[in-house]
A and B are shown apart, each in its own frame.
Chain A
Amino acid sequence: MTEFQTVIGLEFHAELKTKTKIFCSCPTTFAGEPNTHVCPVCLGLPGVLPVLNKRAVELAMKAGLALNCQISPFSKFDRKNYFYPDLPKAYQVTQYPLPICKSGYITVPDADGNEKNIRINRIHLEEDAGKLVHSGESITTSNYSLPDYNRAAVPLIEIVSEPDMASAEEAKAFGDKLKLILEYAGVSDVKMEQGSLRCDVNISLMPKGSDKLGTKVEIKNLNSFRAMHRAIQFEEDRQRRMIERGEKIVQETRTWDEGSGQTLSMRSKENDHDYRYFPEPDLVPTVITPEWIEAVRSELPELPDKREKRLKEECGLSYYDCAQIVATPALAFFFDEVAKIFDDKKTIANWLIGDVSRLINVAEKEYEQIPIAADDLAYLLEQAKSGAINNNSAKAVLEEMFASGKKPAEIISERGFAQISDSSALEEAVKAVIEANAKAAEDFRAGKQQAMGFLMGQVMKATKGQANPNLVKELLAKMLK
């Protein structure tokens, strides 16, 4: 039997993190009452004109740089013409022949764990459509629809990969990596559940070893990477069976139905499109100089691949620790902040992965909202390291920092966690213990090392556990000489 090879290309739409829409000054804030974040421009009223948001251009450039793309020195906008009630002007302003970024790639692990580059064909800037609320269960059963244009003209980038992926796993790895990079770059919120990151799949099958691509099918309505993974597996199977039965694959758009776990053909009406692209006369070209590119590049933080390498090499962290930190940009950025003040990176990593993460989870917070300041954590770790407080106290302090928002120094003094590390204050206590336990002191002098443990315990007891144990040991040794 013929073995088949799956060929997958992905298209992502990411909403850009600008304050305002791409061509008007309405806010991009998610949610809000319907049709309250709109103006004549994004409503497409007669006579209005678009003016391009500079920040949207820069965020698209940032995405391009983060994804190893070439930034086009000359790009322009085009109109894509079609009628749909969520599209106020009956055309979408997008970029067709001259997108802002071209030819990039992302590195992902392949099936054998080797690094594989998945190429990116292009990234273009465009406007989002509005949202339709349907009266019934779904678009097919509803009697009427309710357009809300709050989302209309929110800036989007469309990222189009080359058909370089061979499995659902690779597609998912690409998606995960892309999402992470965009998040690091600060380009998009990349929240699939809120629709700020959306994904379409193009998939075809061809006999293994062939270089002739099969008929491709597009899958839409994928609300998560899990859905994407399932949809690809379903579609691989469906297409293989069809080919094996000698049936012809139809080039079409299919929709993923989460409930039944299948892809379903969309009405053919939505398939035959002649978009009549032409240059948008209301906007002028964008010319990007090398200086502008460098200015934008300088805004980029360290990206995941490089960061993971650095944490491994410079900080001596394990692969597992690195991956944990790098997978959460907010945590990674927090790590960097703490590391600026406190230089034991291994300790920072342990605390972040351990107690800090645990407390964030307990508080049901996002990593973006870590409720403690980096310099406060650095202070706390410093206190623990110097022995000013012991490890258990440090954990308790951290907990209270999360709960009350108080400064660590304040908590340490209020709760009396400070260890007595002043030798003159301890000398008296040590002296008193030696006098009261003459027998044990004798034993120690006679060479019984166990006596030291007993004497130390007595000192700790006398100081209610606040004595710095290292110092106590030192003092005992000195006085018993």
Chain B
Amino acid sequence: MSIYDMTINQLQQQLNDKNISSYELTKKYLARIEEIDPVIHAYITVTPEAALEAAKASDERRARGELIGDLDGIPMALKDIFCTDGILTTCASKILANFVPPYNATCWQRLADVGAVLLGKCNLDEFAMGSSTENSAYFATRNPFDIERTPGGSSGGSAAAVAADLAAYTLGTDTGGSVRQPAHYCGVVGIKPTYGLISRFGIIPYASSLDQAGVFAKNVYDCATVLEAVSGHDEKDSTSTPYPIGDYRGACQRDVKGMKIGMPKEFFEEGIDPRTIEIVKKAAEKFAAAGAEVIEVSLPHTKYALPAYYVLACAEASSNLARYDGVRYGVRVDKPTLEEIFCATRSAGFGEEVKRRILLGTYALSSGYYDAYYNKTLQVRTLIKEDYDKVFASGIDCLLTPVTPGPAFKLGEMLDDPLTMYMTDVCTVPINIAGLASMVVPFADIEGLPVGVQLIGAPFSEEKLFTAASAVEVPRRLPPDILKQAVEKGVER
């Protein structure tokens, strides 16, 4: 078994047995990044010096018997949307090409405090706006299973890094599916916990009322280990809840017997690849075989979630992205007057998709349109949330649905058709709208491409999700020769 195949627990065992040091492990990951990443493009920034230094410190702690926890000394990576003190944080935008934050995102700080070794910062769609990482201002990330295809987005770099063994685990963010969709495309586990479980402090916002950090891992148990470390109340985030952190690892060992799994019929209607539907039904059978009860349910406002999402997300984004004005940080385009600097800096610094969403959001909030778009959407949000409240109140423990209509699409395929690209989020956005917990686990494949299933739980029901996810997951490993061929062939950036 290669160290890249090992879970966090197995790696800890190796480190404890002195079969390898964290320093050596980190070197191995860095070497693999050097070898493979020119093909995958998962990383925007790699931080070898800092990583090796952190690894060394971990080895010293281990030698002194002062190990902090299960993540101490384990190499990992962050989506380049998490602010990292002293380390370039670009959000995959040209406008932040030179931005070095003087502070850490709380969830990264929590990992650093327990000895995590940061390998670098992963690619994403600019400001997390996109579903393919093609909107990165730097380069598109490739799907390790087929480098002609997208790893998904916006956290595509973080998902691809785990799938291609370029990090033991990574963090991403999910505003409308940005953790779950790439997890599904890349055959890894991805969780978007309940809004408020993980502090948003230090995460560059796209849409504040929808954004939530999430975890990518090789399997459900690793995911639980990391989630326990990053969750919990943060006094720097007013929307982070005082809700206690659950025993997610314990929940992985529990039995699904007697759990009620709901299948919302609106998630299996037109537009979903019949092969995807078959796969989700197989997962339902697996639950039933394990003693869970599978029940059809209805969430009547589901189809309105996607248009509602675009109104809300774009409106909030138009305000969140206003601060990039070339005055205090970021790349300024010099002009004789400040008014011209504002326009030139923002027009040159933002990519097309970002500008489109800023325009949409500005439009939805502008006088004359506010009630028809924004207020109406906040009402629709209530209706969508109530659908879920009712289903969970009826005794359903979690819902089982497809993640996207089909498997990973080809790079470039949807670039000219944003609306069709948006449609790939149809099964994931309702969860952010309603502030629920949701998780994607690999389960099967279509023509060699990974396909996951989505589990959805009531707010703060992550323990139930981990129980259900552990029962249904089929951990997926990348066939070793796929990347080898790609590396030999070489890919142009």
Contact = CB atoms under 8 A, between A and B. Distances in A.
A and B form one complex:
yes
B386 interface: no
A83 B238 contact: no
B243 interface: no
A50 interface: yes
Interface stretch (B71-79, B99-107, B262-270): B99-107
Interface stretch (B28-36, B180-188, B196-204, B425-433): B196-204
A147 interface: yes
Contact of A276 (B201, B207, B328, B362): B362
A48 B319 contact: no
Interface residues of B, number: 44
Given A48-B202, A88-B328, A284-B238, A83 B342 contact: yes
B237 interface: yes
B325 interface: yes
Contacts of A276: 318-319, 362, 365-367, 370
Given A276-B362, A276-B366, A49 B319 contact: no
Given A46-B323, A49-B238, A51-B235, A85 B96 contact: no
Most buried by B among A46, A47, A91, A277: A46
A47 B105 contact: yes
A90 B325 contact: yes
B443 interface: no
A37 B374 CA distance: 36
B100 to A, nearest CB: 11
A40 B235 CA distance: 15
Nearest to B201: A49
Contacts of A50: 238
A364 interface: no
B365 A281 contact: no
A49 B208 CA distance: 10
B325 A83 contact: yes
Interface residues of A, number: 30
Interface in B198-219: 200-205, 207-209
Contacts of A88: 323, 328
A46 B238 contact: no
Contact of B328 (A43, A47, A278, A283): A43
A52 B209 CA distance: 17
A75 to B, nearest CB: 15
Given A45-B101, A46-B91, A278 B315 contact: yes
Contact of B102 (A40, A277, A283): A40
A282 interface: yes
Given A47-B201, A47-B204, A90 B238 contact: no
Contacts of A79: 319
A44 interface: yes
B18 interface: no
A132 to B, nearest CB: 10
Interface in A44-91: 44-52, 79, 81, 83, 85, 88-91
Contact of B374 (A51, A52, A145, A278): A278
Given A49-B236, A276-B362, 11 more contacts: A46-B329, A48-B202, A51-B236, A52-B238, A88-B323, A88-B328, A90-B319, A276-B365, A278-B315, A278-B365, A282-B239
A-B pairs with lowest CB-CB distance, top 3: A90-B322, A276-B365, A281-B208
Interface of B: 82-83, 89, 91, 96, 99, 101-103, 105, 200-205, 207-209, 235-239, 315-316, 318-319, 322-325, 327-329, 338-339, 342, 362, 365-367, 370, 374
13 contacts: A40-B102, A45-B102, A47-B201, A51-B235, A51-B238, A52-B238, A83-B325, A88-B328, A90-B325, A274-B366, A274-B367, A277-B365, A284-B238
